[in-house]
């Protein structure tokens, strides 16, 4: 007898496990929703590790940063570091092509997760700020310092040079629906940069036929996010770098995106101006920045490209900061993007460095692209085979890409181990390698690889079982995200080096990030918070909230309406209860709420407040993430056209939608007092992975 059948018969189950479930009451919506990832088979215990025979939903996900073989770049100070930045992605003949600064090539992928490097011939592509556009069966490329060229077969690496570099700073090639071509770029210095546009004649070698050298410039007095410095603190410097143009057309409106204030900062972001004409005039997008992520493991989301995938969904590929050896030490990340009902462009960076669905893999009608798995290794006890001074093992579990653990050597057998504190259901592990003591002289290292293995156990005295075996790996995978073959119950995880490190580095890890389900209750709700908008500087506001003892951190969501909370500040650590926000725009009213999160889940704020501290919206009278404390993770079966949800949702009437493993809607029904009455009967052995419960408005 399974757990649900026992509940239906009123028999107390012999045992049950708490399972983290997401029931999120998003301030941007009028309904609650629940996505349950239910195992399709009972967990089997093999030795000292529990393994599930179910399909692993993490197999349909990716995790930022993008895992490509970043180039080793040597700068004028002879510093060697890995970087890629200023990216562009286009879909060409059903494949994705990714271009990035100083990469000495580009990548293509059939699925946006497995990227293959292409080294071009003849033309110069090793330059800053590449841009690509497609017309028919031809792809066009240029860059700041690169040739203008074209190809009909980008996988071959063969391109035809049209002319030398156009000389534009951070160019963006844009082809309009009517066949007209334009190039957007920047002109000026750090204190007077302006966005510019040129109309191009493709038939005559892309000659300039018209231009506007002053579309707009930075407005530091009114746009807080444009102010230079970490957390936009250099309010009197007059410096900012307006760069990284990108154009997107939507419903006959032209959205010119630009990056500020500097690539080395966690607040690096993209603003936006709109126009009804590609040549302007342009007006400011009031919800700017439209791409923003100053907190979390991956931060700084500027100089980007907005593109549509093979399924018509919008994405934003962007530059993210490492910036330890130099400000130009950077990586790439990809986030979902969208236009809302009022045609405002925005990027979803909320927990954007957690597992999220690949193109075409999200369940039907999903309101979020996140899978729902949490980070289980944050601040957990760790030990290593050896430790280099200044780089302790704990630095591999602090959610900070700018710190790392390093062994004293790159010897085979160096290892790092973490104790998750209890048995957890692990679905994927991301290993972010660091480049400690690089000996390589720089350039494209095509023969590099990371060789390692990851093992797990429930008891260090028991048998270690292989979770990830890459001892024979031949690929350079600096941010290797590896979904396990199946969901695995494990407490201790150990990674061991099995070969030389790329660039002659030591065996070093920025963060070993473990994703899954901790089988516990989501943290409490932030019960109260206040907002103080700075009277003398409206670009600033201070948000203060009550501490949640069982939280790992908080996420402030803010936006220009109670249903447009598009930007967020993730604050790592439960003891931080205040944040000064300096990214606001003068003359714009803002709305805020504060969420709490931990390894057990996310509890969204239940109230939205205006920046004058007036409550704008009461989201729910109950916890934003309602807790289903006794949900069994074994096979989920529907019995006799009914199934039980183990709580009553405070007696409120809800609607449940039941989906099969592929995401197909099977049926729907109403829930009252914990029991769902389905609209039609489903076979008793039907396997269900996803249930979405929406609260009806009373």
Structural tokens at position 344: 């405002």
**Which residues are 247's β-sheet partners?**
256
Structural tokens at position 210: 């018209």
Q: Are 534 and 611 in contact (CB under 8 A)?
A: no
Coil, strand or helix at 98: strand
Residue 377 in this model has a pLDDT that exceeds 50 = yes
**Of the candidates 605, 599, 606, which has an alpha carbon nearest to the alpha carbon of residue 553?**
599
Q: Which range, 30-34, 153-157, 656-660, 676-680, is most confident?
A: 153-157
Q: What is the DSSP letter of 585?
A: B
pLDDT in tens, 545-583: 999 999 999 999 999 999 999 999 999 999 999 999 999
pLDDT at position 164 is 73
What's the pLDDT band for 411 if we cut at 50, 70, 90?
very high
pLDDT in tens, 221-230: 999 999 999 9
Residue 673 in this model has a pLDDT that exceeds 70 = no
13-33: b or e for each residue (b if 16 or more CB lie within 10 Å)? eeebbbbbbbbbbbbeeeebb
**Of the candidates 459, 517, 467, which has an alpha carbon nearest to the alpha carbon of residue 495?**
467
pLDDT at position 623 is 26
What's the pLDDT band for 401 if we cut at 50, 70, 90?
very high
Cα–Cα distances in angstroms (integers) from residue 569 to residues 58, 199, 231, in the given order:
26, 39, 11
d(CA 493, CA 377): 9
**Of the candidates 313, 501, 325, which has an alpha carbon nearest to the alpha carbon of residue 401?**
325
pTM value is 0.84
**Which residues are 465's β-sheet partners?**
456
Using left for φ > 0, alpha for ψ between -120 and 50, and beta otherwise, residue 225 falls in alpha
pLDDT in tens, 271-284: 999 999 999 999 99
Verify cis geometry, omega within 30 degrees of 0, for the bond prior to 281: yes
375-393: b or e for each residue (b if 16 or more CB lie within 10 Å)? bbbbebebebbebbeebbb
> Rg of the chain over CA atoms, in angstroms?
25
Number of H helices, E strands in the chain: 1, 50
pLDDT at position 44 is 35
d(CA 33, CA 54): 24
pLDDT in tens, 239-259: 888 999 999 999 999 999 999
What's the pLDDT band for 3 if we cut at 50, 70, 90?
very low
Question: How many other CB atoms are there within 10 angstroms of residue 664's CB atom?
Answer: 11
The full set of domains in the chain, from first to last, is: 1-14+32-39+630-698 (no CATH), 81-353 (2.115.10.20), 374-517 (2.60.120.260), 521-629 (2.60.40.10)
């Amino acid at each position: 007898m399974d757990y649900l059948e026992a509940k239906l018969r009123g028999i107390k189950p012999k045992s049950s496990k708490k399972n983290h479930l997401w029931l999120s009451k998003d301030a941007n919506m009028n309904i609650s929703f629940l996505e349950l990832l239910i195992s399709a088979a009972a967990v089997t215990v093999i030795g000292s590790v529990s393994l599930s025979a179910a399909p692993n939903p993490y197999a349909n996900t990716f995790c930022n940063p993008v895992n490509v073989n970043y180039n080793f770049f040597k700068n004028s100070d002879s510093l060697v570091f890995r970087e890629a930045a200023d990216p562009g992605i286009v879909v060409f003949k059903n494949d994705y092509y990714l271009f990035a600064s100083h990469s000495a090539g580009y990548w293509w992928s059939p699925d946006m997760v497995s990227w293959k490097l292409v080294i071009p011939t003849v033309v110069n592509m090793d330059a800053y700020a590449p841009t690509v556009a497609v017309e028919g069966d031809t792809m066009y490329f240029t860059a700041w310092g690169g040739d203008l060229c074209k190809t009909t077969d980008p996988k071959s690496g063969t391109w035809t040079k049209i002319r030398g570099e156009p000389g534009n700073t951070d160019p963006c090639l844009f082809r309009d629906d009517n066949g007209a071509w334009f190039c957007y770029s920047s002109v000026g210095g750090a204190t007077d940069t302006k966005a510019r546009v040129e109309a191009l004649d493709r038939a005559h070698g892309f000659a300039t036929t018209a231009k506007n050298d002053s579309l707009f410039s930075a407005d530091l007095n009114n746009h807080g996010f444009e102010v230079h410095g970490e957390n936009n603190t250099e309010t009197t410097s007059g410096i900012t770098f307006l760069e990284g143009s990108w154009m997107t057309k939507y419903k006959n409106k032209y959205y010119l995106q630009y990056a500020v204030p500097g690539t080395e900062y966690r607040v690096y972001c993209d603003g936006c101006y709109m126009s009804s004409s590609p040549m302007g005039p342009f007006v400011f997008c009031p919800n700017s920045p439209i791409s923003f992520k100053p907190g979390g493991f991956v931060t700084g989301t500027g100089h980007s490209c907005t593109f549509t995938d093979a399924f018509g969904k919008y994405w934003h590929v962007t530059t993210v900061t490492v910036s330890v050896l130099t400000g130009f030490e950077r990586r790439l990340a990809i986030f979902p993007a969208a236009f809302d009902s009022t045609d405002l462009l925005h990027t979803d960076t909320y927990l954007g460095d957690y597992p999220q669905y690949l193109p075409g893999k999200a369940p039907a009608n999903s309101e979020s692209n996140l899978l729902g798995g949490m980070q289980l290794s944050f601040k957990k006890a760790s030990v290593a085979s050896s430790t280099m001074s200044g780089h302790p093992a704990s630095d591999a579990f602090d959610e900070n890409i700018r710190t790392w653990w390093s062994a004293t050597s790159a010897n085979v057998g160096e290892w790092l181990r973490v104790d998750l504190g209890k048995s957890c259901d692990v679905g994927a592990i991301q290993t972010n390698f660091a480049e400690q003591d690089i000996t390589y002289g720089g350039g494209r290292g095509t023969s590099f690889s990371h060789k390692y293995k990851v093992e797990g156990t429930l008891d260090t005295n028991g048998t270690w079982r292989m979770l990830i075996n890459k001892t024979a790996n031949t690929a350079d995978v600096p941010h290797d995200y590896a979904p396990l073959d199946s969901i695995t119950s494990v407490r201790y995880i150990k990674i061991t080096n099995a070969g030389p490190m790329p660039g002659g580095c030591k065996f070093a890890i920025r963060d070993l990030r473990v994703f899954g389900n901790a089988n516990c209750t989501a943290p409490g709700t932030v019960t109260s918070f206040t907002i103080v908008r700075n009277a003398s500087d409206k670009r600033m506001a201070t948000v203060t909230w009550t501490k949640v003892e069982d939280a790992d951190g908080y996420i402030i969501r803010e936006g220009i309406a109670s249903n447009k909370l598009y930007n967020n500040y993730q604050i790592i650590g439960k003891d931080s209860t205040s944040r000064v926000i300096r990214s606001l725009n003068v003359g714009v009213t803002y709305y805020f709420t504060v969420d709490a999160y931990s390894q057990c889940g996310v509890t969204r704020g239940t109230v939205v407040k205006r920046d004058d501290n007036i409550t704008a919206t009461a989201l729910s009278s109950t916890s934003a993430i309602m807790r289903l404390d006794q949900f069994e993770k074994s096979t989920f079966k529907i019995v006799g056209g009914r199934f039980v949800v183990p709580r009553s949702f405070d007696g409120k009437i809800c609607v449940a939608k039941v989906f099969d493993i592929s995401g197909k809607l099977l049926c729907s029904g109403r829930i009252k007092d914990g029991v769902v009455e389905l609209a039609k009967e489903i076979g008793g052995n039907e396997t269900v992975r996803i249930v979405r419960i929406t609260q009806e408005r009373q």
